Amino acid sequence: MASMALDVSGTFNSLISRARSRRPPSVDWRELDQPVPLVKVVAAPIAPGSTSIKYTATGITPEAELVLSQLPVPIHIVAFTGFGRSGKSYTATKVRAHLVGNEDHKFASAPGNVPCTHGIDMMVFENPRGPGTVVFLDCEGGANHNQSALPFVIGLAARLSTQMYVFERGCFTTGGLDTVMQVVNMGNATSADDAVDITRQLVLVENMSINGDIPDRRLLDDLLSEEDGDEQTNRVRRLVRQRFDTNFAKLPFNVGGNTAVHQEAVAALADTLADSLVPFVVGGVPVDGPVVVQLITELLTQIRDGGNRFNMVTATEALVANMAAEAANTVWTEFIDKVRKQGNHPVQINGRKHLRTILREVEGAANSCINELETFTSKLVPNEPASIAKQTWDRNYRNFEMDIRAAHQRKAEELARYTRWADRINRLVNEIVAQVVEAIRQFIRFARFSTSLILMSNYYFWRHSFNLVTGIAQGVISGGA
């Protein structure tokens, strides 16, 4: 199971993360003050003049977004929920301190009846026992006298966490299970696979326990037993058993000489938590911080305008569709780069390479890309929104192939027109050359004739001159005799 998660995580990193902007953040998350509020909450009277306050979640805080957007795969999210004044914040701080070896950051906690946490506070630290980071969500407690935003707190905690710790002080009762039931109610999970929507790892923590001598297993069995109780109570117990993998833990009072015992119990709780960390998953694949930000935004949008329940199914489907589309766009960009290197992009086609050769080379580049895309999207659930990746690829590839054919035809026509002009010019040049050659040939013939004529004329001239001189000479000789 772990190797499969790492394989899927690696696929996500190699595909989705290639599309992420790699601009360095303004501030590294490790340098920020923690904890930070996760959700922006607006408080306003429910009516003019009323002293009753309505709390509305309006979105993720800039501080939380700055931290989460930097987190790589894998992310392990742990939520601390339950009754108010039950020691959630204090215990979360102590668990973190045991894991990292310091108390540099602390959740707000103080004695008294006034609660310290409103909404959700978030603290992030590097996983000391493996890859990735750990995110602690310290949630506002239920049944506080100034309770503000418990419904959306429980809903977000249920969807974001891979482990949920539910606290009750003294003795864990069916009243504490009401917090767990709010997870089911707020989740509004309607898919066939509930694990897609809300966490299944549930730990019931009995803080400041009065049952130190009773084994944890027995306390859990008694708590979830349907042998006693009314119909409603047994229904809650049954749903908890069906929907969650439930464990039980006790923490003693941290007073007086009991400090060492409390530290040992916290250490055991922290070790168990660290050993059972699993990556945060959306759509069946481990994801990074930017996807967590998208999910929070999607969920809060559902209740921002008056909604009182999250729809985990539609939120998951929206995120799966986003991841599938992002993966398709990433693979498509890399496919275009490969085609450009081949010289087969429509703007590079010159019409001299045969169309079948171009399409065969393009198809070869496409096959490796589509295989990588399908390897990733086949792991996404639900399958229907994940199919947007294949639809996006098919549409882009079909249009791209049409562009190649059109570009090749256009260049072929231009090449044909150029060839026709070249043929005409070639014929004209050939005709001119032939005429010039013929003219030269005629000139040579004329030159030969002229030369012959001149030579013949000179022959007769010199012959006549010789005869004339000879005659004169003979006359002179005859007269002298």
CB 117 within 8 A of CB 89: yes
Q: Name 168's bridge partners.
A: 206
Domain definitions of the chain by residue range: 22-310, 312-461
Which one, of 390, 347, 340, 339, lies nearest residue 364 by Cα?
Answer: 339
Low-confidence ranges of the chain (pLDDT < 50): 1-9, 188-196
The set of residues, in sequence order, having a beta carbon less than 8 Å from that of 359 and lying 6+ positions away, is 401, 404
Query: Three-class SS string for the chain?
Result: CHHHHHHHHHHHHHHHHHHCCCCCCCCCHHHCCCCEECEEEEEEECCCCCCCEEEEEEEECHHHHHHHCCCCCCEEEEEEEEECCCCHHHHHHHHHHHHHCCCCCCCCCCCCCCCCCCCEEEEEEECCCCCCEEEEEEECCECCCCCCCHHHHHHHHHHHCCEEEEEEECCCCHHHHHHHHHHHHHHCCCCCCHHHCCCCEEEEEEECCCCCCCCHHHHHHHHHCCCCCCHHHHHHHHHHHHHCEEEEEECCCCCHHHHHHHHHHHHHHHHHHHHCCCCCEECCEECCHHHHHHHHHHHHHHHHCCCCCCCHHHHHHHHHHHHHHHHHHHHHHHHHHHHHHHCCCCCCCCCCCCHHHHHHHHHHHHHHHHHHHHHHHCCCCCHHHHCHHHHHHHHHHHHHHHHHHHHHHHHHHHHHHHHHHHHHHHHHHHHHHHHHHHHHHHHHHHHHHHHHHHHHHHHHHHHHHHHHHHHHHHHHHHHHC
- CATH number of the 22-310 domain: 3.40.50.300
- Distances from the Cα of 318 to the Cαs of 67, 291, 328, 452, in angstroms? 23, 11, 15, 103
Confidence at residue 1, expressed as pLDDT on a 0 to 100 scale: 41
What is the arrangement of strands in the sheet containing 163-169, beginning at the earlier edge strand? 36-37, 120-126, 133-139, 75-82, 163-169, 201-207, 245-250
What is the spatial distance between Cα 268 and Cα 263, in angstroms, rounded to a whole number?
Answer: 9
How long a stretch of residues is the chain?
A: 481
What is the spatial distance between Cα 45 and Cα 52, in angstroms, rounded to a whole number?
Answer: 6
- Distances from the Cα of 48 to the Cαs of 45, 146, 473, in angstroms? 7, 20, 158
What is the spatial distance between Cα 343 and Cα 339, in angstroms, rounded to a whole number?
Answer: 6
Query: In the chain, what is the straight-line distance between the N-terminal and C-terminal CA atoms, in Å?
Result: 149
Confidence at residue 339, expressed as pLDDT on a 0 to 100 scale: 94
What is the spatial distance between Cα 158 and Cα 310, in angstroms, rounded to a whole number?
Answer: 10
On whether the pTM is more than 0.95, the answer is no
Which one, of 160, 190, 166, lies nearest residue 178 by Cα?
Answer: 166
Which one, of 165, 93, 90, 148, lies nearest residue 123 by Cα?
Answer: 93
Within 13 Å of residue 179, how many CA atoms lie on the same side as its CB? 31
Confidence at residue 148, expressed as pLDDT on a 0 to 100 scale: 56
